[in-house]
Structure 1
Amino acid sequence: MIHEILFYLSIAIILSTLVPFIRHDFWIFRVFEYPRLQKLVLNIFVILAILIFAFPHQTADYIVLFAMFINVSYLVYLIFPFTIFGNKQIIGSLEKPGKNNLKVFIANVYQENRKASEYHKEINACDPDVILMVETDTWWQTQMDTLSERYPFQLKIPLANTYGMLLYSRFELQNGEIKYLVKSDIPSIETLVKLPSGQLVKLYCLHPEPPVPQENPRSTERDMEILLVAKKAKQSEHPVIVMGDLNDVAWSYTTELFGKVSGLLDPRRGRGFFNSFNAKYFFLRFPLDHIFCSPNFTLSSINRLPNCGSDHFPMCVDLQYNPKAEVKNETPEATTEELELANEKINAEL
């Protein structure tokens, strides 16, 4: 009995790794990209169980066990860049924090959450220059507007559909715009932030729909919005930061395509997973809240903050603008085929 259970469980694990190779936008093909770390852990435990309790005795058993070892190797290959053993895509800051630093705080607050005081506590502790909060309605705006004295520059779109955004900045915002890139009820923010040094930084704030049945059964709109911003970032004449809840994991093929098309860097690479979702279930956690930056930045600090009642942990990341870093950072580049794929997704029919 245990032999059969482990045999069919092994088949299921292998299939869950193969499904994302089907480049289809329907949610069932995309959702299996998320739990790669969980699949790796389960894969290892099943292999150990097979070796201890159900050692192979038929050709099919050996084939499945061999496939499980290949599966482990592939999952390690995918996850390794986000461990502390991987190469750092963005180097640590070369100078002490100063007038070229921009510390950002991002949080998906979970619209029905009422622990606003917990966010004030973490904001005070982090002391960011820019605050982005998503899933914010008018109740959340009322609770957070007490920040206005310290953060006088603001762009706010409170919505009752879980896609509201609040942006607060202690630094001057210029040419701030609220965009609806793909859908009329899903906003994003584009603005310039003026650092104390006078340097302007282009900031994009996103929260696209996740590919799940209760929200949107396809990833088409999410991928389109992410890749539209990738092209905008690539064409920007200013240093760029993209941040928000992208509803996509750091290792998905869409996020990797975003990095290559935009040329932006992920500060988590080589430093850890920084899983920001799900705060309520430790065994179902993925890196969904992102901050990407152009190669002319270095990293002063990155932290996942304590849970504040949401299903997401807040993140606090301190970036330092430094053009000298461009020759030391690992800048991703897209091939001709990848650019064609990005354009295909951007121009997909909705």
Structure 2
Amino acid sequence: MSEQLTTAPPGVATTAIRRPRRRGGSLAMPYLLLVLPVGLVCLALGYPLVRQFIMSFQEFGLAQQFGQPPEWVGLANYQQVLTDPYFWVVTARSVAFCAVSAGLTMVIGIAFALLLQKVSPVPRVVLQITLVLAWAMPPISALTSYVWLTEPRYGVVNWILTSMGLDGFENFSWLAGNQWTFFGVASTTVVWTSVPLVTLMTYAALNQVDEEVVEASQLDGAGWFARLRHVVLPMIRPVILLVTMLEIIWDLKVFTQINVLQGVAGNNRATNLLGTYVYEVGIGGGEYGIASALATVMLLLVLLLTWRYMRTLMKQGDL
């Protein structure tokens, strides 16, 4: 470390002030530490995204998988996708499924978070452990349980309903019966796996709310619902917006739950969502160019639906 003497008036002793030496390496270290993770993310996500975008302008089928050079077709794949009436049916179905599932997830998750604040410590810990276990359960295991519950002949759901005198549910197939019951079961599985994360994140945000502000609103005569609507929820709004944005992304591109339940029901065309439709066209049909165009349109749809939430978060300085 270098020492510099300060100039002092006559009769006043001078003291040595140590100043740290600025090193260029220390300034560059944070950026160097970011190189590896950013590079891995770009490699894992950037390359497939670029490859998908390029393939969406090519005729890429099974022949290209065996070495034949792909042929550039311009916007032909997009034209075929956007002029296909079935694509718009699947898109509308996916948006509706996303709206219902994400909406139910947010309502139930916030309600559970508020419940966690009201219960005593022991039930709170039990509920938190239960939520974590439900969230950590592999989706295939949860789906297997739902298939058993809704099995036409021996399922618990039909047994309970018929025991209540509802004879119309005897040997009723919830998955192969019609679209509404299929998506009812599918939405239940999606909500089941998503509610724990929403609950825990919302509960963590609620614990950061200033109790003095809530008590002041209570002294002003605000009831419980008024305090929740005008004080508590606005204070945790950034967290709710972030979780809502994540839920929209996850539920719009849901694949595992729909694909597994379709394997049981056997009615793919009537129950396809965008995720399973892209898989069916690409992996099932070998039309990788069209599937890439579908995936690109799906990505643009996700960005369109979540842009409002992203813009709000950026205005608040959270992104």
TM-score, shorter chain, exceeding 0.5:
no
Higher strand fraction (1 or 2): 1
Give the number of the structure whose alpha-carbon radius of gyration is greater: 2
Compute the TM-score of the two structures, normalised by the length of structure 2. Answer: 0.28
